[in-house]
């Protein structure tokens, strides 16, 4: 299960385009599109990228994706 609609909604609430978000996260806009459209498994995205996306959007990672699906990673600091 992927909650990609929450990512899209959070991005729009933040007033960002896919390109804006991608630039701030350090990925391509097509990568963001793949996540939002459910064509990229959240496990394959990687922990640090999930954290960067959440930080740019001003939310916690678990607000965008179910906790059980979040990639495992190190500490966030």
**pLDDT 10s digits, 5-54:** 588 999 999 999 999 999 999 999 999 999 888 887 767 788 889 889 99
CATH number of domain containing 26:
1.10.260.40
Q: Distance of CA 34 to CAs 29, 66, 77, Å?
A: 9, 18, 27
Q: Which residue has the higher pLDDT, 72 or 53?
A: 53
- Per-residue pLDDT, averaged over 57-73, amounts to 75
pTM for the model stands at 0.78
DSSP string of the chain? ---HHHHHHHHHHTT--HHHHHHHHTS-HHHHHHHHTT-S-HHHH-HHHHHHHHHHHTS-HHHHS-GGGSPP-----
Are the beta carbons of 5 and 62 closer than 8 angstroms? no
Answer yes or no: is 70 within a domain: no
Per-residue model confidence (pLDDT) at position 38: 81
Answer yes or no: is 73 within a domain: no
Tally of structural domains, the chain = 1
């Amino acid at each position: 299960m992927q909650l990609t609609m929450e990512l899209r909604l959070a991005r729009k609430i933040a007033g960002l385009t896919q390109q804006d978000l991608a630039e701030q996260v350090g990925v391509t806009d097509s990568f963001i599109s793949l996540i939002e459209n459910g064509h990229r498994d959240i496990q394959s995205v990687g922990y640090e990228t999930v954290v960067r996306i959440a930080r740019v959007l001003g939310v916690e990672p678990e607000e965008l994706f179910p906790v059980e699906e979040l990639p495992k990673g190190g500490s966030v600091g």
